[in-house]
Structures are given as structure tokens and as C-alpha cells.
Amino acid sequence: MKSNIALVGFMAVGKSAVGQLLAKKTDKTFVEVDFLIEKNSGKSIKQIFNEEGEIAFREYEIALIKEISNRKNQVLACGGGVVLNKINIDRLKQESVVIWLTASLQSILERLQDTGETRPLIAGKNRETEVQSLLRLRQPFYKIAADIRVDTTGLNVEQVVKKTLIKLKRYANYH
């Protein structure tokens, strides 16, 4: 039986916030994949993208997923592009129920605006155009990877976790 929950989805859909509360409610260890990449590399995600490029970042991500994917009783908040490498999804699916958190384009844009944070993939570009483009590119990958889909649009973290737990209970391979 799978004991992990892997949260995937686009930037600003709530993976980290939902993951933290979900881990508490399920008595699991919370793992923030991007944080561990930063810790292991000694660089921020922004620095990795600026100094080494996206390909190097994806290599860090693949190595970390390989290292952590078979541990037990975790809630993994994965980076938005983790689904772009099939090897990541194959490894995650061995021990994790993969949950795709979604949100409307407008909701994502509002959340990105609210944080004031500049994400490396949209830095210096038209935010709306770039988000739309990346969403179109990634959506088929999220769909293929996901065991469960949860729309976070218009919901607070508590509501998303409640909705997620209900869907998890219906999922056959989860305990």
C-alpha cells in the first residue's frame, strides 16, 4: 500500500500550504522538494536557474526525487515542473498517491500577484502570457501523472485539505 502523498501542480496552486496542513492532519512528514533542492545545492532556485539553467535544476530535481521517493509516510510538495520528467512520476508513483492541485488562470495570477515573488520561469516576461503558455504545455503531463485532481480555486487551505482527504478516502490504494 502507498503511504505517501505527492502534490503536483502549477505554481501558486497551494502545494506547500496544503502539503503542510495535510501532513499534520495525516500524521506524516512534510517534505518541500524545492526547499531540499536549495539546501542540497547551497543555492536558491532563482540562483540555480540564473547560474546553471533550467536543465541543471531539473537534474537536481530528478536526483532528489530518486533519493526521497521510496521513504514512507510523507507528504511531498513537488515543484511545478516535476511532471516534465517521466522518471520523476514513475518513482513517485511507487510509494505515493499523486494529487494534482489545480486552479483557474485568474486565481493563479492573483496568487502570484499577492506573493510579490518573482518565479524564475516567468521573470521578466508578460506574466499572464507566460502562465497561459506554461499551463498549456504542462496540463497534459499533470493529467497523466495524477491519481486524484483537486481544484483549489476559491478555496482556502483548510477547505482544500478537507476536499483532498475526502478524495483520498475514495482512492483504493491509499491508507
> Out of 56-65, 108-117, 152-161, which region has the weakest mean confidence (pLDDT)?
108-117
Q: pLDDT at residue 142 above 60?
A: yes
Q: What is the mean pLDDT of residues 157-173?
A: 91
pLDDT greater at residue 1 or residue 124? 1
**Where does the pLDDT of residue 123 fall: very low under 50, low under 70, confident under 90, or very high at 90 and above?**
low
Tens-digit pLDDT profile for residues 63-72: 999 999 999 9
> Under CATH, domain 4-167 is a member of which superfamily?
P-loop containing nucleotide triphosphate hydrolases (3.40.50.300)
pLDDT of 148 higher than 60: yes
- Residue 73: alpha-carbon gap to chain centroid: 17
CB 97 within 8 A of CB 168: yes
The domain spans of the chain are: 4-167
C-alpha grid cell, residue 53: 539553467
Q: Note whether 88 and 62 are within 8 A (CB).
A: yes
Distances (CA, A) of 114 to 32, 108, 109, 118: 21, 10, 9, 11
What amino acid occupies position 21? L
**pLDDT score for 130:** 86
